[in-house]
Amino acid sequence: MNKVFATVTGVIAALVMFTGCSNVTMLRTAELRSIQTRVDSLSVVITGLQNQIIEEQKSQSELLRSLRADQQIRFNEIDRKVVAIDGNISESQVRLSKIDEKTAQVQKKIDAQLVADSLSETSKISEQEKLLQIAMSDFYAGRFDIAVAGFTDIASKNQGSPIAQDAEYWIAECSYAKKEYAEAEKAYMAYLKKYPQGSKSCVVFYKLGLVYEKQNKDKFKQMVWKKLIEQCPDSQEAKVVQAQMAR
């Protein structure tokens, strides 16, 4: 603005000097005054614009400071949350570590208990097998009542197990050996009903046929031995029955 004003003033001065004070007419003076008025008006406008620009710059600077302050607050909040999350993660890791330790301890106890149970079960089976051998020794020695007591005790304490199946078979054998055929029939039938696919089922079919033969129940004997041949075609008992039928 000052440069413009200086320029116009210089022009006016030049005009005055050029024409001389005596030759300046009223018209020229009016024109110069009009130009001066315009220059003054432009100076006011320019000054106003400069002030407006300064105010806008201040407003923008204030807004920028406010945005930076708000941004810093948000960054600080994010940092606080990140620190809190890191703390939670560390705490969770510690808890998980403790849980893993407790789980490992529990698993060790379970494994130890399983081993102890396995050893106990193995010891129990070994003991029951010894008792079975003792009862069989009584059977072969002709002490059938003592043998029956031993077999019955084993069967009651090991229900459903292979050793219980053997014990129940030998109970029937004791009755057969004592020639108590009605009791032997019941015992053999009970074995087949309870263990239709038992390890002694083929022998039981054969012995049950002999019981019926002793009781003169030939029809029942034939039915049982037919079942024997059907269910145990390759067994030694089936071959003996087939040989008898052939004769």
* 177-231 tens-digit pLDDT: 999 999 999 999 999 999 999 999 999 999 999 999 999 999 999 999 999 999 9
- CA distances, 78 to each of 70, 71, 82, 85, 96 (Å): 12, 10, 6, 10, 26
Report how far residue 70's alpha carbon sits from residue 82's, in angstroms, rounded to the nearest whole number.
18
Query: What pLDDT is stored for residue 194 in this prediction?
Result: 93
10: alpha, beta or left, given left = phi > 0 and alpha = psi -120 to 50? alpha
Give the mean model confidence (pLDDT) for residues 53-82: 79
CATH code of domain 142-246: 1.25.40.10
* 137-152 tens-digit pLDDT: 999 999 999 999 999 9
The per-residue pLDDT of the chain, averaged, comes to 82
The yes-or-no verdict on residue 118 having pLDDT over 60 is no
User: Higher confidence at residue 212 or residue 3?
Assistant: 212
Single-letter amino acid code for the residue at 104: A
Give the mean model confidence (pLDDT) for residues 98-114: 66
Q: Check the CA dihedral 78-80-84-89 and report its sign.
A: positive
Report how far residue 81's alpha carbon sits from residue 89's, in angstroms, rounded to the nearest whole number.
12
Give the mean model confidence (pLDDT) for residues 112-133: 67
For residue 77, what are its two tokens?
A: 């909040």
Alpha carbon 161 to its chain centroid, in Å, reads: 35
60 pLDDT tier (thresholds 50, 70, 90): confident
**Of all residues in the chain, what percent carry a pLDDT higher than 90?**
46
The yes-or-no verdict on residue 49 having pLDDT over 90 is no
Query: What pLDDT is stored for residue 78 in this prediction?
Result: 81
